[in-house]
Amino acid sequence: MPAQPDGNGLTDLQHRFAHAVLQAPLAVPSGIRHDVRPTRERRFGVYRNNVKASLAAALAARFPVVARLVGDEFFTAMALVFIERHPPHSPVLAEYGAAFANFLEGFDPAADLPYLPDIARLEWSHHVAFHSADASAADIGRLAELPPEALGSVRLGLHPAMAVIASPWPIVSVWATNTHDATPEAPAAGWTGETALVTRPHLDVLVQRLPPGTDRLVAKLAQGIALGAAAEAVSRAHDSFDLATALSTLFGAGAITTLSQGSSS
Amino acid sequence: MTADRLPRAGAGLKPEHQRHILDARPDVGWFEVHAENYMGAGGPPHHFLERVRALYPLSVHGVGLSIGSAGGMAPGHLSRLKAVVNRYQPFIVSEHLAWSTHEGTFLNDLLPLPYTEATLSLVARHVDEAQMVLGRRILIENPSTYLLFDGEEMPETDFLRALARRSGCGLLLDINNVVVSAANHGFDPRAYLESFPHEHVGEIHLAGHAVLENDGDALFVDTHDRTIAPEVWSLFRDVIARRGVRPTLIEWDSDVPAWPDLEAEVHQARSIMQMAGGLDARAA
């Protein structure tokens, strides 16, 4: 490799630089002046630290409940492993962290907190909802205005910020406790699974529990299936499904934006 | 375009302050945002920026285009930047003399470039492309750096002068970056500013830096997390007295203080600018 950075030299230099910045065990790349104090190791260390500390801080801000559950020190160590394996691919840092929940699934040191990946999924959905497209939520009163014979064939459009995360763990309870209360709390024995609904009807992101079967209803609505057929299918599969409760939860959270008649798109 | 208005002092817009700014409408000249924070589809960032923009002039400062990447600028990023510029109609658009993307990986920092003819051609080509796509002149900021490369062919000030001449871009003079780089590389910041091509400067940045001591060796780090150092204020005073007043921004990006602390720095810059402007007026 040429020491003189010419056209190709710059490509080589940036290649060595980029790899050494991300991978701590790698030596300082060649091509950096070393006839000066402080040492080039310390100088290069500033870039290493800037890159990694800023990304770790971005992840900590994006996954505050995960950070609280494992503690700041553990979180930073975990984030640094994630950053090395999954560095960002876009200068838009808001897009960084989508792979964090799946990474946690396979991160052995956190294996005794099996609910951690689902908490991360909930926090990621919360973050995505914050930046998602704006849309006006529809009022449930619009359903009541429909003639009874039109109710079954109405199609409900879902808000772009809306997300549903089903979990075998009480993720909404854990999230709420660790977001609003002073002391961190893990799920107690005997707690049951919860399905989270994330919405952002206006500026604030809302998180709440979905009643049984409602996630299945949302999945059918998302496919463009009319309300009548969707409700019937979910009722057949879930004894405890209650359409009125499901609809008041979804409309109340601002999850529905449009009511339309006619064929699905 | 509001480029002809009397240059004023502004502040970096932080989410922590935006509600207060909309309620209290503080007397500052303008605000600057990082373009990358407004590349989402919607939500509170755009909600608040639309409202701030309705009240104040805005400058858009890109931190992710990677104008110095040998493998090309960040893919797709220029069109995202264009969307932000089109939406908010800023009076200044700026980016950095730096790189951050390599083979699709984004290294979240402004990484240094060797100042060679080859780098100059590459950067000038990218600035050209950016100005073409955006349909306007952009300003390029002098970086703060922590290391130098073997085989560099020209000083940074010559590089920036040649870049401005070749591409027609303007320059953003960050005086804190000058102080940081000068300390790290052992040159005199006054000599640097003496040879800086001030005729191309369209904006000045001021910020705070940290000094990291280790075994008697100090490194200055461009942290934007504290008040501006006295040396930076003093150089700012000299530069604008001799070279003219420019729109000047206080950058404070981490450990963001309560609004009054940031506003106090803006007002300090403003009084220095008014004094320099007054001298200009008397001289004219």
Mean pLDDT value of segment B124-145: 98
The model's pTM: 0.94
> Quick one: closest CA in B to A37, which residue?
B217
Listed residue (A116, A105, A102) closest to A71, CA to CA: A116
Q: What is the pLDDT of residue B1?
A: 37
pLDDT at A137: 97
- Per-residue pLDDT averaged across A189-194, rounded? 80
Name which of B41, B107, B219 is nearest A133 (Cβ-Cβ). Answer: B41
- Chain A residue whose CA is closest to B75: A90
Which residues in chain B are contacts of A54 at CB distance < 8 A?
108-109
Please report the pLDDT score of residue B280 as a whole number: 52
d(CA B76, CA B74): 6
Å from A193 to nearest chain B CA? Answer: 30
pLDDT level of residue A36 (50, 70, 90 thresholds) = confident
- Would you tell me which residues 87-126 of chain A have a C-beta closer than 8 angstroms to some C-beta of chain B? 87-94
CA distance B241 to B106: 40
Compute the distance between CA of residue A196 and CA of residue A213 in angstroms, rounded to an integer: 12
CB atoms within 10 A of CB B19: 12
Options 2.60.40.420, 3.30.390.50, 3.40.50.620, 3.20.20.150; CATH of B9-283: 3.20.20.150
Is the confidence at residue A16, as pLDDT, over 70?
yes
Taking a contact as any Cβ pair under 8 Å apart, which residues of chain B between 137 and 156 contact chain A? 146-151
| Tens-digit pLDDT profile for residues B146-162 | 999 999 999 999 999 99
Q: What is the pLDDT of residue B278?
A: 66
Tokens of B72: 């090309």
Contacts of B40 in chain A (CB under 8 A): 92, 94, 130-132
E strand or H helix that includes residue A36? none
CB < 8 Å from B in window 170-189 of A = none
Instruction: Give every CB contact of residue B247 below 8 A, 6+ residues apart in sequence.
Output: B7, B8, B9, B10, B29, B30, B59, B91, B92, B202, B203, B204
pLDDT in tens, B3-32: 445 789 999 999 999 999 999 999 999 999
pLDDT for the residue numbered B282: 46
Q: What spatial distance separates the first Cα and last Cα of chain B, rounded to whole Å?
A: 26
What is the pLDDT confidence band of residue B116, given thresholds at 50, 70 and 90? very high
Neighbours of A116 (CB within 10 A): 24
By CB atoms closer than 10 A (0-12, 13-18, 19+), residue B62 is buried
Nearest residue of B to residue A204, measured between CA atoms: B44
Whether the CB-CB separation of A177 and A198 falls below 8 Å is answered with no
Q: Flag whether pLDDT at A2 surpasses 50.
A: no
Cα B2 from Cα B10, distance rounded (Å): 14
Give the relative orientation of helices B117-134 and A7-22 as an angle to the nearest 10 degrees: 80
Q: How far is CA A21 from CA A64, A201, A202, B69, B102, in A?
A: 26, 41, 40, 15, 11
pLDDT > 60? residue A264: no
Report chain B's C-alpha Rg in angstroms: 18
Comparison of pLDDT for B214 and B100, the residue scoring more: B100
Q: What distance in Å separates residue A91's CA from the closest CA in chain B? A: 5
Of A13, A46, A92, the CB nearest to B219: A46
pLDDT of residue A4: 45
Residue B193, by phi and psi: left (phi above 0), alpha (psi -120 to 50) or beta? Answer: alpha
Contact B147/A43, CB-based, under 8 Å? yes
Across the interface, do B151 and A13 touch by the CB < 8 Å criterion?
A: no
Write out chain B residues lying below 8 Å of A43, CB-based: 146-147, 184, 219
Are the Cβ atoms of B43 and A200 closer than 8 angstroms?
yes
Instruction: Say whether residue A35 is in contact with chain B using an 8 A CB cutoff.
Output: no
Q: Give CA–CA dist B58/B60, Å, rounded.
A: 7
DSSP class of residue A32 equals B
Torsion, Cα of B59, A201, A229, A172 (10° steps)? 110
Given this model, what pLDDT does residue A232 score? 97
pLDDT computed for residue A35 by the predictor: 83
Q: Report d(CA B61, CA A175) in Å as an integer.
A: 35
Is any Cβ of chain B less than 8 angstroms from the Cβ of A14?
yes
Q: For chain A, give the mean pLDDT.
A: 92
Collapse the DSSP code of B158 into the 3-class scheme (helix H, G, I; strand E, B; otherwise coil) and give the result: helix
Percent of chain A surpassing pLDDT 70: 93
Give CA torsion, residues B41, B47, B50, B53, to 10 deg.
-120
pLDDT at B279 (0 to 100)? 57
What percentage of chain A's residues is helix, strand, coil (to nearest 5)? 50, 10, 40
Residues A169 and B229: their CA atoms lie apart, in Å, by 51
3-class secondary structure, B229: coil
Output the pLDDT for position A181: 74
Domain edges within chain B: 9-283
Give the range among A127-136, A189-198, B132-141 with minimum mean pLDDT: A189-198
Q: What average pLDDT does range B68-92 have in this prediction?
A: 97
Length of chain B measured in residues: 284
Confidence (pLDDT) at B283: 46
* Residue A184 predicted with pLDDT over 60: yes
**Is pLDDT of A171 > 60?**
yes
B105 lies within 8 A of chain A by CB: yes
Inform me whether the pLDDT recorded for A190 exceeds 70.
Answer: no
Which residues partner with A206 through β-bridges? A199
Q: Which residues of A touch B121 (CB under 8 A)?
A: 7
| Least reliable range by pLDDT among A176-180, A207-211, A212-216 | A176-180
**Region B42-56: what's the mean pLDDT?**
98
C-alpha span between B219 and A43 (Å, rounded) = 8
Q: Which residues does chain B have within 8 Å of residue A10's beta carbon, measured at their own beta carbons?
A: 70, 113-114, 116, 118-119, 122
Q: What is the pLDDT of residues B169-189, one digit of tens each?
A: 999 999 999 999 999 999 999
End-to-end CA distance of chain A: 56
Contact B130, B163 (CB under 8 A): no
* Among A121, A88, A90, A89, CA closest to A104: A121
